[in-house]
Structure 1
Amino acid sequence: MQIIQTVVVKQILTENSKKKLFDHYEAQKLQLQREISQLQFELKRLEKTKSFSPGALKNHFEKEINKRLEKEKLLEFQIEQLHRLPLGSELKEKEVQSLVEIKIGDIWDERIGQPTIIIKDGIIEDIR
């Protein structure tokens, strides 16, 4: 019988992976700033049309802007933590699903542990 099991994928922090993560966080931050600017522009444009209730309109746009500001704060925190992490640290990157073959007589705790795949600069380094 086969069952599906969750496998954790971890990345070993190297200079290369640290730079890629930093660039990724910065790109996300820049995208959020663009979205905030666009929302502010749209709010001003819609306020001039006077087709909508000004209070409700402003409230809706402020919620959307605040969501993006919170995401931006989280990214800044992640960037700060990335700078503090020493090279060689293991970062949980994601989880994937795997098929596991089990049969009568298998020891359950040994077959169904929490397997982990370790990646270093895009290359599988270890499977635990």
Structure 2
Amino acid sequence: MLIRQPVAVKFILTESTKQQILSEHRRQIERLTAELEQLEAQGAQAVEQAMAQGGDVAQQVRQRFEQEKAARVQQRDQLIQQIQQIQQMELGTEIQNMNVETNVEVRVGDDWGKILRGAEIIIKDGVVHEIRRGGESVQE
């Protein structure tokens, strides 16, 4: 019988991957900062235009822009926090990246505990470094 099972994809933190992650996070922070500046300008202009329609409309427009700005500030703060965490991590640390799914064949007599422990794919510098099933390394 075939069952679907999640597979954890992890990567080993090397100097190269560390720099890639930090660079990507910094680019995202720059993008969010630019979006915040743009929202600030657009928000001021939109509120000004809404004032002609009345105070309630202007207040709603202002709230919408404040929510948009707050969401981006929160994203930026999370990225800054992640940068700090990555900088403190030791090289060689395994970091959870994503999950994918696979089909696993289950037969009578299989160790269910091993099946439940699932599988992992370990990536090092963009190359599959190791595959684990049930916590044990397998060669495929």
TM exceeds 0.5?
Answer: yes
Three-state SS of the structure 1 residue aligned to 2:117 is coil
**For 1:102 and 1:15, how far apart are their aligned partners in 2?**
39
**For 2:12 and 2:111, how far apart are their aligned partners in 1?**
31
**For 1:76 and 1:95, how far apart are their aligned partners in 2?**
24
Partner of 1:8: 8
Q: 1:65 Cα deviation (Å)?
A: 0.3
Q: 1:106 Cα deviation (Å)?
A: 2.1
1:82 aligns with 2:83: no
Q: 1:41 Cα deviation (Å)?
A: 1.5
Bigger drift between 42-51 and 114-123 goes to 42-51
Which aligned segments of 4 or more residues in structure 1 are displaced greater than 6 angstroms? none
Partner of 2:61: 57
Partner of 2:136: none
**For 1:90 and 1:105, how far apart are their aligned partners in 2?**
32
**For 2:68 and 2:115, how far apart are their aligned partners in 1?**
46
Partner of 1:28: 28
Bigger drift between 112-121 and 50-59 goes to 50-59
Partner of 2:114: 110
Q: 1:80 Cα deviation (Å)?
A: 0.6
Three-state SS of the structure 2 residue aligned to 1:20 is helix
Instruction: Give TM-score scaled by structure 1 length.
Output: 0.93
Aligned length: 128
**One-letter amino acid of the structure 2 residue matched with residue 6 of structure 1:** P
- The sequence identity of aligned pairs, in percent, is 32
**For 1:115 and 1:79, how far apart are their aligned partners in 2?**
28
Three-state SS of the structure 2 residue aligned to 1:103 is coil
**For 2:77 and 2:115, how far apart are their aligned partners in 1?**
41
Instruction: Give TM-score scaled by structure 2 length.
Output: 0.85
Unpaired runs of at least 5, structure 1 = none
Higher relative contact order (CA 8 A, sep 6+): 1
RMSD: 1.3
